[in-house]
Chains A and B, each alone.
Chain A
């Protein structure tokens, strides 16, 4: 039973399209994250939600919009896709109660987005 699951695993699309990536965790955690990993494997946090409340919002274009309908789900919607959006997007979760005391993040397997 997968702890943090993301769909789709692969996404190939044209520039200008809108796409969504979904994430669900069944660990009962209160905090979820989106990270972007570029072609050089560099990992950068994009967003974090704690109990459906946005607590981290890094310098990310407005075209990226996270949505958390409940604490077990965090989706990422991307408008007007650009070539530079091509990357692997990782969802993660942790039990923090809003503070990163443990740092133990549980990651999904990633969603590889390719923009043509």
Chain B
């Protein structure tokens, strides 16, 4: 079975500060890993994805994530937070025989002025 664990349901940063959202995965097969973002009252949209190519993945809005197999992690980072980054962020995993995407419980990012 596959799963993801997001550490920290709420993260607060100052505008301009580094954003770090943590995600650890569990998978018995090589995983595909994703970060999605959900703005208030909207659906989710894909930020970035890892599908066994480069371990450092760049996404939209200067977000990036690094796949670390030894640590079973796929943390999301952004060098400088912007007010518009305030949203709920979801890590997700899929792979192997399963053809469904399993989401983590989400991390709410707040950006303080």
Q: Show the binding face of A for B, using Cβ within 8 Å.
A: 4, 40-45, 48, 55-56, 90, 92, 96, 98-110
Contacts and interface: CB of A to CB of B under 8 A. Distances in A.
A47 to B, nearest CB: 10
Main secondary structure of the interface of B (DSSP, over half): strand
Contacts, number: 66
Given A48-B100, A56-B99, A101-B51, A107 B105 contact: no
A109 B88 CA distance: 14
Interface string B63-105: 0000000000000000000000000101010100011111101
A48 B103 CA distance: 15
Given A103-B34, A107-B43, A110-B43, A40 B99 contact: no
A41 B106 CA distance: 7
B108 to A, nearest CB: 8
